Amino acid sequence: MYIQNYSQLISESLNRNSLELRKIGLKSIEIAISSVEPRKLIRNAMTISDEILMIEEDKYDLKKFERILIIGGGKATAQMAIALDELLKTSSKIEYEGFLNIPEDQELKFLTPTKNIKMNLASHPIPNEAGLNGVNKMLELVERTNKSDLIICLFSGGGSALLPLPKRKINLADIQKINSLLLASGASIHEINTIRKHISDFKGGNLAKRIYETSKATTLTIIISDVVGNKLDSIASGPTIPDLTSFNDAYNMLLKYNLLDRIPMSAKEVIMEGVKNPRLENPSKNDPIFENVHTYLIGSVELSVEEVSNYLKNHDFEIDYYSNKISGEAADFGKGLFYLIKEKLKEYPKEPEKSRIAMIGTGELTVTLRGKGIGGRNQEMLLNFLNTIKSEIIDYKFFVVGCNLDGIEGNSKAMGAIVDNSILMETTQNNVSIDSYLNSNNSNAFFNLINGEIITGPTGINVNDFLLILVEFNA
Find residue 100's DSSP bridge partners: 72, 119
Q: What CATH architecture is 38-165+200-246+281-299?
A: 3-Layer(aba) Sandwich (3.40)
pLDDT at 114 over 90: no
What is the pLDDT averaged over residues 105-134?
84
Number of Cβ atoms within 10 Å of the Cβ of 444: 25
Confirm whether 6-36+301-472 and 38-165+200-246+281-299 share one CATH topology. no
pLDDT at 465: 96
Phi, psi of 89 (to 5 degrees): -65, -20
- For the chain, the farthest-separated pair of C-alpha atoms sits apart, in whole angstroms, at 71
Helices 206-214 + 129-143 axis angle, to 10? 30
With a cut of 70, say whether residue 475 has pLDDT above it: no
As a whole-number percent, the residues of the chain with pLDDT over 70 amount to: 97
Segment 233-241 mean pLDDT:
97
Distance CA 256, CA 274 (A): 18
In this structure, are residues 205 and 284 in contact, taking their beta carbons and an 8 Å threshold?
yes
pLDDT in tens, 293-319: 999 999 999 999 999 999 999 999 999
CA distances from 80 to 4, 39, 71, 446 (A): 23, 5, 11, 35
On average, the pLDDT of the chain sits at 93
Residue-wise pLDDT for 55-112, tens only, equals: 999 999 999 999 999 999 999 999 999 999 999 988 767 899 999 999 998 765 455 6
410 burial type by CB count under 10 A (0-12 exposed, 13-18 middle, 19+ buried): buried
pLDDT attached to residue 300 = 95
Please say if the pLDDT value at position 138 is more than 80.
yes
| pLDDT at residue number 113 | 58
Lowest mean pLDDT among 232-246, 292-306, 353-367: 353-367
- Residue-wise pLDDT tens digits, 146-205: 999 999 999 999 999 999 999 989 999 999 999 999 999 989 999 999 999 999 999 999
Q: Report which residue type is found at 188.
A: S
CATH superfamily of 6-36+301-472: MOFRL domain (3.40.1480.10)
Instruction: Supply the pLDDT for residue 351.
Output: 65
Q: pLDDT digits over 259-272, tens only?
A: 999 999 999 999 99
For 15-46, give the DSSP string: -HHHHHHHHHHHHHHHHHHHHT-HHHHHHHHE
**Residues 334-338, mean pLDDT to the nearest whole number:** 97
pLDDT at 112: 60
Cα separation, 132 vs 165, whole angstroms: 6
pLDDT tier at 122, thresholds 50, 70, 90: very high
Rounded to 5°, the CA angle 185-368-417 comes to 135
pLDDT, tens digit, 9 for 90 and up, residues 141-160: 999 999 999 999 999 999 99
Q: Is the pLDDT of residue 392 over 70?
A: yes
Q: Where are the domains of the chain?
A: 6-36+301-472, 38-165+200-246+281-299
Report CA torsion sign: 167, 173, 174, 177: positive
